[in-house]
Structure 1
Amino acid sequence: MRRDVFQAIADPTRRDIIQLLAGKPQNLNSIADNFDISRPAISKHIKILTECGLVIIQAEGRERYCHVSLGGLRQVAEWTNQYREFWNEKLDALGDFLAEEKKNKRKK
């Protein structure tokens, strides 16, 4: 099953795993050492991240290393960008309004 990127990043532990792997690839045990949850729970989080394409697992000898693949976050960036533009416009309008109010108060 291919999961949704939004579903994957909805969980704070998965966001922390992405942040951790952005620094360098790590094996499952190394990832688990950074959290106060069980290794099976970390494996479940990694599975979800893998299913949505944010993590790629590569076998290197007996170890399985997790590599982050941030390209999947492009969808999130595009979705949030539309709201960024909206709020920038609103905040610019508010700034203009406040500047005009300040100017009008000085005139009085």
Structure 2
Amino acid sequence: MDFNQSLVALSALGQETRLHVFRLLIKAGPQGLQAGEISDALNVRQNTMSANLSVLMRAGLIRNTREGRTIRYFADFDGIRGLLEFLMEDCCGGNADLCKSVLDEIACDCWERVP
């Protein structure tokens, strides 16, 4: 993830509802949640939720798939990993390879892309 995309992602997470959505989708794992389920879980109106989901998608932190008339949302673990790599690229005296093990350690099986 580059500098500008990282700014977009961090800005997206800097709003309370979007941070709650992001954490909820991380918790949901590879099953994700339908848009209505997210709205109900966070007690947010669907049109407001739609706008927040769009911001998180543009930031590369979540993705979606259509299921008939509904849309299911998932945490985009590739995007999350990209943000974490960007944040850690200057650690260890600028030798990011030394920190690769940290990213590998916090990655879980759910980080693999779901079809």
Same-fold call, TM cutoff 0.5: yes
- Please name the residue that 1:91 is paired with: none
Q: 1:34 aligns with which of 27, 38, 41?
A: 41
What's 1:105 paired with?
none
Distance 2:87 2:60 in 1: 19
TM-score, normalised to structure 2, is 0.60
Q: With structure 1 as the length reference, what TM-score do the two structures score?
A: 0.64
Q: Which has the larger radius of gyration?
A: 1
Cα displacement (A) at 1:81:
3.3
Paired residue secondary structure (1:20): helix
Separation in 2, partners of 1:61, 1:68 = 20
Aligned to 1:16: 20
Match in the other structure for 2:96: none
RMSD between aligned residues: 2.4
Give distance in 1, aligned partners of 2:16 and 2:92. Answer: 26
1:65 aligns with 2:72: yes
Counterpart of 1:100? none
Q: Tell me the equivalent position of 2:50.
A: 43
Name the SS for the 2:60 alignment partner.
coil
**Structure 1 residue 65 displacement after superposition:** 0.7
One-letter identity of the residue aligned with 1:28: A
